[in-house]
């Protein structure tokens, strides 16, 4: 119960922060507070949110993954190559191949972590290097620009012209993102597996003595992240209309920062889909607002970085004071797990 | 066999085993596969390439030993390099005098120390997870650097700076000498100083260290400050080697430094680890990439093999401890 309240306090703070930010930005620029802009922000952040909900599952189960963005690159590259070999393909085949490849790569991580007992950050840094090195070696860094038409054409589910002439568009990445969020949310909070993941992340040894299958937890969490990474990779290829092997390189740390901003805890047992979505959106809204206010794009990352730094340090400092003594020690234990 | 292992462990320490075995394996495999591997040219190229990665690994090492991590090292190094570059530019660019260069180095070290101290204070006083603080610090520093340089590079340095990156002294490359001095300093710091003892204790158990009367906050701040200073040294070497400073130079080293440290037997949870095995591990990684280059493969394959090597070493460690566990059970 206490965790529930604390968990929701993160989300309430985030929403409050976001409302403040939005109010400030809507006074600062006249184009910010429009429906069209809201949909723009959603379209831009769709891929990152798909990554983030996948990463959330791994964080909840007490692990960490550095390799997922590169795994997504591998998945999108292999998918496009496979589709070419199949002679075109369609959306169903695309999702299937990307999902299978992504899940497979995630399962490799789970195998290393569970079977060979390598700590998750060490294992995934290694697989990060292996995936990226092999991808760049075999592709020689060559990008693919001639995607099948169905993949590169924009899919718009709903569009409407607003009074001021701007377009509201609900595109495929957003729909897929919503599906991924709903599926993840259902998995972690409405199924036994999800509750087991929380229990396992909070206290692995306790969970093991409870009779929870530790191996299955590893394979499920990393497999899920792999699946999400595969889907996100496909969506990114669709959104960018090209496949560039190193396009997603470095994305993992941005997504990790946003996910943790949304209340997931390194060390496991805490986090929600809502918080995670809010974390990514907060970063996107900041960038979007800065853009509309005419701030130099070179300053974006600096400001976003400063905001994340402030948010993370402030929230940890505040929580540390608020937490009762019993929880304090457990949060420290969690913070020593890397 | 058994006595040999015991003797080896007694002389070099048990954590030296992994890196040394990897070293021998790499030397054997490449020595047999590529006939021009065992030559002075190979070792020359290793000696020149080692310092950048090596200095950054040293910067990563101290936070890792406290059970933390410093993800902002590469961009701290870039920013420190930028500070040095600006001091040089402001005082005559290519015609700057030696004293200006010394001032530039001081500026770089001060920048690195400031960035590190800020990280350290944030970690020590808020108890936020080091991964998060340094990760957001990294995003911030990268943004700051890109903002200040507009994504371009700063170049045009006096001619006497170049030997710092390319020159040789007594037949040894200057950057390698600087690196070895830094390794020695870190070794003494960890083995002989109060700070070294304190940071290892923090890595073992922060709470216990605190209750034993160690000023854990001060130590954490110092550790990250020293890490920042080491980044600055790496930044100066990179400035001299590339003869330019650009934000993003050496970015790909970030995760490799973690890998090198773990390969060198540093405990991923902190508290245990020494400098010398890490040094050997660095040599192994660099030999691997040089050897592959000789055989005509590119750097990306070397990156992949670094990852494989890491997994093999970690897996072997697990298997070895399981084996020992089984034997003890039987007895």
pLDDT of residue A53: 92
Interface probe with A: pick from B18, B206, B311, most Cβ of A within 10 Å: B311
Residues of A in contact with B259 (CB under 8 A): 122, 125-126, 129
Q: How confident is the model at residue A330 (pLDDT cuts 50, 70, 90)?
A: very low
Residue B165 contacts residue B158 (beta carbons within 8 Å): no
Q: H-helix or E-strand containing B55?
A: helix B40-65
Residue A249 CA: distances (Å) to CA of A72, A233, A244, A254, B57: 10, 12, 10, 10, 21
CB of A54 closer than 8 Å to CB of A232 = yes
How would residue A338 be classed by pLDDT, with cut points 50, 70 and 90?
very low
Residue B283's closest CA among B76, B109, B22, B35? B22
| β partners of residue B246 | B153
Please give the DSSP secondary-structure letter assigned to residue B252.
T
Q: Domain range for residue A16?
A: 2-336
Q: How many CB atoms lie within 10 A of CB A141?
A: 12
Question: Contact at 8 Å (CB) between A215 and A107?
Answer: no
For the record, the structure tokens of A52 come out as 């983030």
Q: Is A129 on the interface with B (CB under 8 A)?
A: yes
Res A242: pLDDT: 86
Q: Does A337 touch chain B (CB under 8 A)?
A: yes
Q: What Cα–Cα distance (Å) separates residue A21 from each residue in A261, A305, B260?
A: 15, 16, 42
CA torsion, points A115, A117, A121, A125, in degrees to nearest 10? -60
| Count of structural domains within chain A | 1
Read off the DSSP letter of residue B112: H
Taking the C-alpha atoms of residue B123 and residue B301, their distance in angstroms, rounded to an integer, is 36
Average pLDDT, chain A: 82
What value does the mean pLDDT take over residues A244-255? 84
Written in H, E and C, the secondary structure of chain A is CHHHHHHHHHHHHHHHHHHHHHHHHHHHCCCCCCHHHHHHHHHHHHHHHHHHHHHHHHHHCCCCCCCHHHHHHHHHHHHHHHHHHHCCCCHHHHHHHHHHHHHHHHHHHHHHHHCCCCCHHHHHHHHHHHHHHHHHHHHCCCCECCCCHHHHCCCEEEEEECCCCCEEEEEHHHHHHHHHHHHHHHHHHHCHHHHHHHHHHHCHHHHHHHCCCHHHHHHHHHHHHHHHHHHHHHHHHHHHCCECCCCCCCHHHHHHHHHHHCCCCCCCCCCCHHHHHHHHHHHHHHHHHHHHCCCCHHHHHHHHHHHHHHHHHHHHHHHHHHCCHHHHHHHHHHHHCC
Alpha carbons A233 and A237: distance in angstroms, whole number: 6
Which residues on chain B are in Cβ contact (under 8 Å) with A335?
Answer: 127, 129
Which of A133, A309, A316 has the CB atom closest to B140's CB atom?
A: A309
Q: What is the pLDDT of residue A328?
A: 44
For chain A positions 82-121, those within 8 Å of chain B (CB to CB) are 112, 116-119, 121
Q: What is the DSSP letter of B97?
A: -
Q: Which of A74, A316, A331 to mutate to test the interface with B (most CBs of B within 10 A)?
A: A316
| C-beta of residue A54 within 8 angstroms of C-beta of residue A227 | yes
pLDDT tens track for A113-169? 998 888 888 888 889 889 998 998 888 888 888 888 787 777 777 777 766 666 777
* All residues at 6 or more sequence positions from B102 whose CB lies less than 8 Å from its CB, including other chains: none
**Whole-number Cα distances in Å, A231 to A85, A101, A256, A306, B92:** 20, 10, 18, 30, 54
Which of these ranges, A49-53, A155-159, A224-228, has the smallest mean pLDDT? Answer: A155-159
- Burial class of A217 by CB neighbour count within 10 A (0 to 12, 13 to 18, 19+): buried
Q: Is residue B310 within 8 Å of B263, Cβ to Cβ?
A: yes
Contact A121, A338 (CB under 8 A): yes
Residue with more model confidence, A68 or B287: A68
pLDDT band at A100 (very low <50, low <70, confident <90, very high): very high
Retrieve residue A151's tokens.
């993949």
- What is the predicted pLDDT for the residue at B13? 66
Instruction: Enumerate residues 6+ apart whose C-beta is below 8 A from B12.
Output: B20, B276
Q: What is the CATH number of the domain that holds A41?
A: 1.10.3470
pLDDT value, residue B67: 84
Q: Got the DSSP string for B82-95? A: HHHHHHHHHTTGGG
pLDDT value of position B1: 55
Give the CA count within 13 Å in the CB-facing half-sphere of A157: 9
Taking CB atoms and an 8 Å cutoff, what residues of chain B touch A332?
127, 206-207
d(CA A45, CA A135): 25
DSSP class per residue in B256-316: HHHHHHHHTT--TTSS---HHHHHHHHHHHHHHHHHHHHTT--HHHHHHHHHHHHHHHHHH
d(CA B23, CA B283): 8
**Which has the minimum average pLDDT: A69-78, A105-114, B192-201?**
B192-201
Note which residues in 296-315 of chain B have CB less than 8 A from chain A.
Answer: 297-298, 300-308, 310-311, 314-315
**Sign of the CA dihedral with A127 first, then A129, A134, and A135 last:** positive
pLDDT tens column, A31-42: 777 777 888 888
CATH of domain B16-26+41-320: 1.10.3470
Structure tokens at A7: 């968990």
Q: CA-CA distances (angstroms) from residue B40 to B1, B43, B49, B180, B309?
A: 33, 5, 14, 19, 25
Give the mean pLDDT per block of 10 residues along chain B (331 residues): 65 70 78 72 78 89 87 89 84 73 87 90 82 84 84 76 73 82 89 85 82 84 91 88 79 81 81 85 84 76 84 81 66 50
Which pLDDT score is estimated for A233?
Answer: 92
Mean pLDDT of all residues in A267-285: 86
Whole-model pTM: value is 0.82
Q: How confident is the model at residue A315 (pLDDT cuts 50, 70, 90)?
A: low
- B126 to A313: CB separation less than 8 angstroms, yes or no: yes
* Tokens representing residue A93 in the block: 């085949």
């Amino acid at each position: 119960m206490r965790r529930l309240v604390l968990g929701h306090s993160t989300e309430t703070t985030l929403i409050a922060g976001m409302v403040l930010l939005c109010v400030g930005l809507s006074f600062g620029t006249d184009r910010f507070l429009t429906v069209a802009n809201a949909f723009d922000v959603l379209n831009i952040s769709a891929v990152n949110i798909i990554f983030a909900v996948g990463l959330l599952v791994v964080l909840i189960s007490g692990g960490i993954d550095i390799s997922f963005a590169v795994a997504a690159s591998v998945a999108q590259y292999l998918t496009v190559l496979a589709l070419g070999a199949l002679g075109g393909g369609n959306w169903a085949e695309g999702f299937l191949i990307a999902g299978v490849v992504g899940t497979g790569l995630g399962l490799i991580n789970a195998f290393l972590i569970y079977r060979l007992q390598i700590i998750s950050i060490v294992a995934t840094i290694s697989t990060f290097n292996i995936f990226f090195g092999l991808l760049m070696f075999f592709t020689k860094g060559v990008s693919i620009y001639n995607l099948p038409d169905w993949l590169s054409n924009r899919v718009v589910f709903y569009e409407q012209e607003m009074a001021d002439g701007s377009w509201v568009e609900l595109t495929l990445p957003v729909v897929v993102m919503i599906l991924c969020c709903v599926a993840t949310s259902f998995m972690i909070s409405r199924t036994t597996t999800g509750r087991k993941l929380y229990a396992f992340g909070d206290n692995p040894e306790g969970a093991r003595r409870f009779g929870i299958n530790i191996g299955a937890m590893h394979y499920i969490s990393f497999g899920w992240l792999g699946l999400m990474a595969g889907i996100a990779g496909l969506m990114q290829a669709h959104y960018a209309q090209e496949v560039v092997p190193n396009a997603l390189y470095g994305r993992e740390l941005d997504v990790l920062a946003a996910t943790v901003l949304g209340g997931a805890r390194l060390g496991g047992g805490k986090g929600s889909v809502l918080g995670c979505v809010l974390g990514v959106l907060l970063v996107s809204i900041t960038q979007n607002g800065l853009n509309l206010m005419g701030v130099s794009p070179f300053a974006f990352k600096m400001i976003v970085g400063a905001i994340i730094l402030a948010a993370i340090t402030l929230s940890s400092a505040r929580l540390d004071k608020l937490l009762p003594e019993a929880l304090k020690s457990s949060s420290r234990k969690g913070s020593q797990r890397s | 066999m058994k006595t040999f292992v015991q003797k080896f462990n007694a002389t070099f320490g048990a954590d030296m085993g992994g890196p040394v075995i990897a070293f021998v394996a790499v030397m054997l495999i490449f020595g047999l596969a590529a006939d021009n591997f065992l030559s002075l040219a190979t070792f020359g190229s290793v000696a020149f390439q080692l310092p950048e990665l090596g200095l950054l690994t040293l910067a990563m090492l101290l936070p890792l030993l406290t059970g933390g991590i410093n993800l902002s090292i590469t961009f701290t190094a870039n920013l420190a390099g930028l500070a040095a570059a600006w001091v040089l530019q402001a005082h005559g660019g290519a015609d700057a005098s030696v004293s200006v260069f010394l001032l530039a180095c001081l500026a770089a070290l001060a920048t690195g120390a400031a960035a590190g101290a800020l990280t350290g204070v944030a970690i020590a006083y808020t108890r936020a997870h080091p991964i998060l603080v340094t990760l957001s610090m990294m995003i911030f520093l990268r943004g700051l650097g890109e903002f200040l340089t507009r994504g371009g590079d700063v170049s045009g340095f006096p001619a006497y700076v170049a030997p710092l990156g390319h020159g040789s002294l007594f037949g040894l490359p200057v950057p390698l000498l600087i690196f070895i001095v830094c390794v020695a300093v870190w070794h003494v710091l960890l083995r002989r100083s109060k700070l070294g003892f304190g940071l290892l204790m923090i890595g073992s158990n922060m709470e216990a260290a605190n209750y034993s009367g160690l000023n854990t906050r001060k130590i954490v701040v110092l550790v990250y400050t020293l890490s920042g200073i080491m980044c600055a040294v790496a930044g100066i070497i990179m400035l001299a080697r590339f003869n330019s400073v650009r934000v993003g130079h050496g970015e790909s080293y970030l995760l490799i430094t973690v890998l090198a440290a773990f390969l060198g037997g540093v405990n991923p949870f902190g508290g245990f680890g020494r400098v010398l095995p890490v040094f050997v591990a660095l040599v192994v990684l660099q030999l691997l990439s040089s050897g592959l280059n000789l055989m005509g493969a590119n750097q990306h394959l070397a990156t992949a093999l670094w990852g494989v090597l890491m997994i093999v070493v970690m897996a072997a460690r697990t298997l070895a401890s399981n084996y020992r566990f089984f034997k003890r059970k039987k007895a």
